[in-house]
Amino acid sequence: MPPMNLVQAVNNALREEMRRDDRVVLLGEDIGRNGGVFRCTEGLIDEFPDRVFDTPLAEGGIIGTAIGMALYGLRPVPEIQFMDFIYSGFDQIVSEAAKMRYRSGGQYTVPMVIRTPYGGGIKGGLYHSQSSEAYFCHTPGLKVVVPSTPPDTKGLLISSIRDPDPVLFLEPKKIYRAFREEVPEGEHTVPLGKAALRREGKDVSLFAWGYMTHVCLDAAKRAAEKGWECDVVDLRTLVPFDLEAILGSVKKTGRAVVVYEAPKTAGFGAEISAQIAERAIEYLRAPILRVAGFDTPFPYTLEDVYMPNADRVLAAIEKAMGF
């Protein structure tokens, strides 16, 4: 197959799973004839006219009815056009999808994948830029997955669709079309709960997910010019996250920088920091540092200032090395 970007990888994963399993159905706003505002579902309605549904403009309804479909035995993959619009479906996710298996003693389950583009970088301002993964990571019963490359997007999305529990699948929209990579044709899965080591180094561990993985790779490249070698750990799954990969890296380097786009306070990076502090403090040669978004709404004009970039990550690396 020719190399694919992230949008094409989403499309390819959906198409192949829909061919393999007729229980997989898609629903969302503008996902049919229009192929989704980012074109992730382009052409799928032609191949599966009875399994791709344009819905009324109601995120709570999209998620709520998708839960009902999953209860019935389908494998719905609802799309929320921007993560910023997911909140009217928040109650459905938290109160129904995430709790169903528990509250029914396993009698009813919700095998559903909510796909949604998240994060900044497209000049979307307050309502097309948010990274609100922490709300969902705080919800027992839900899994949260964030790919950062086209092959992972395909492999993780297919694994999520086959997973027996509800999954929130966050697509980093800034890099939807930023680059292409080889994506394995046909059967390709990436297990949930496993991180990927994107770059190896002995001095500092950088932990990230989604687009921030690429920011860390840039920073690591520049750090290498100064003689500091970084591990870049792409978490890929936030719930359940890969503790072994995190501890393995930090025990080797003794320095940890956690990088995330969301507002700093109580972001998921705070959890990673706490885990490292609880379990590996004796290995640390510097304080655990966080490079994150600010505790403000996501701004429009000053977007580039708001989002963590390689400069800020490099400054944190320098601080860790100089401690």
Partner 1 sequence: MGDLLRVITDDGRADPATDPNLSRDELISLYRGMLLERTLDQRMLSLQRQGRIGFYGPSVGQEAAIVGAAFAMDPRDWIFPQYREPGAALVRGMPLREMIAQFFGNAQDPIQGRQMPCHYVYRAGNFMSISSVVGSQIPLAVGAAWAARIRNDPIVCLVYFGDGGTSTADFHTGMNMAGVFRAPVVFLCNNNQWAISVPVRKQTATETIAQKAAAYGFEGIRVDGMDALAVVSAVRAAQRKARGGGGPTLVEAVTYRLGPHSSSDDPTRYRDEKEVEPWRKRDPVDVMRNHLVARGIWDSNAEKRLHQELDDAITEAVHAVEAAPPPAVDAMFTDVYEGVPWHLDEQLRDLREVRGGR
Contact call for residues 52 and 81 (beta carbons, < 8 A): no
Q: How many residues bind partner 1 (CB under 8 A)?
A: 46
User: Is residue 102 a contact point for partner 1 (CB under 8 A)?
Assistant: yes
Contact call for residues 7 and 175 (beta carbons, < 8 A): no
- Say which amino acid occupies 45: I
User: Is residue 212 a contact point for partner 1 (CB under 8 A)?
Assistant: no
DSSP states of 105-162: TTSS----EEEEEE-SSSS-GGGS----HHHHHTSTT-EEE---SHHHHHHHHHHHHH
Contact call for residues 299 and 129 (beta carbons, < 8 A): no
- Nearer residue to partner 1 within complex by CB, 91 or 304: 91
Within a 10 A sphere around the Cβ of 221, how many other Cβ atoms? 14
Residue 108 Cβ, how far from partner 1 at the closest point, in Å? Answer: 5
- Nearer residue to partner 1 within complex by CB, 76 or 172: 76
Residue 119 Cβ, how far from partner 1 at the closest point, in Å? Answer: 25
- Distance in angstroms (rounded) separating the CA atoms of residues 311 and 307: 11
User: Is residue 67 a contact point for partner 1 (CB under 8 A)?
Assistant: yes
User: Is residue 105 a contact point for partner 1 (CB under 8 A)?
Assistant: yes
Stretch near partner 1 under the rule CB under 8 A, chosen from 6-14, 68-76, 146-154, 206-214: 68-76
In angstroms and rounded to an integer, the radius of gyration of the C-alpha atoms of the chain is: 19
Sheet with 24-28, side-by-side order of all strands: 52-54, 24-28, 75-79, 113-118, 167-172, 143-145, 237-239
Contact call for residues 313 and 206 (beta carbons, < 8 A): yes
- Nearer residue to partner 1 within complex by CB, 68 or 121: 68
* Binding track over 222-251 against partner 1, x by CB under 8 A: ------------------x--x--------
- Nearer residue to partner 1 within complex by CB, 110 or 313: 110
Residue 94 Cβ, how far from partner 1 at the closest point, in Å? Answer: 9
User: Is residue 108 a contact point for partner 1 (CB under 8 A)?
Assistant: yes
Whether 138 is a known active-site residue: answer no
User: Is residue 138 a contact point for partner 1 (CB under 8 A)?
Assistant: no
- Nearer residue to partner 1 within complex by CB, 144 or 216: 144
Residues 6+ apart with CB under 8 A from 73: 23
User: Is residue 278 a contact point for partner 1 (CB under 8 A)?
Assistant: no
- Nearer residue to partner 1 within complex by CB, 89 or 120: 89
User: Is residue 107 a contact point for partner 1 (CB under 8 A)?
Assistant: yes
- Chosen residue from 41, 80, 101, 147 binding partner 1 by CB under 8 A: 101
Question: Between β-strands 75-79 and 24-28, what pairing exists: parallel, antiparallel or unpaired?
Answer: parallel
Residue 71 Cβ, how far from partner 1 at the closest point, in Å? Answer: 6
- Distance in angstroms (rounded) separating the CA atoms of residues 243 and 196: 12
Catalytic residues: 128
Residue numbers at the binding site for partner 1 (CB under 8 A): 25, 50-51, 53, 55-56, 58, 60-61, 63-74, 76, 88, 91-92, 95-96, 99-109, 140-141, 143, 164-165, 193, 240, 243
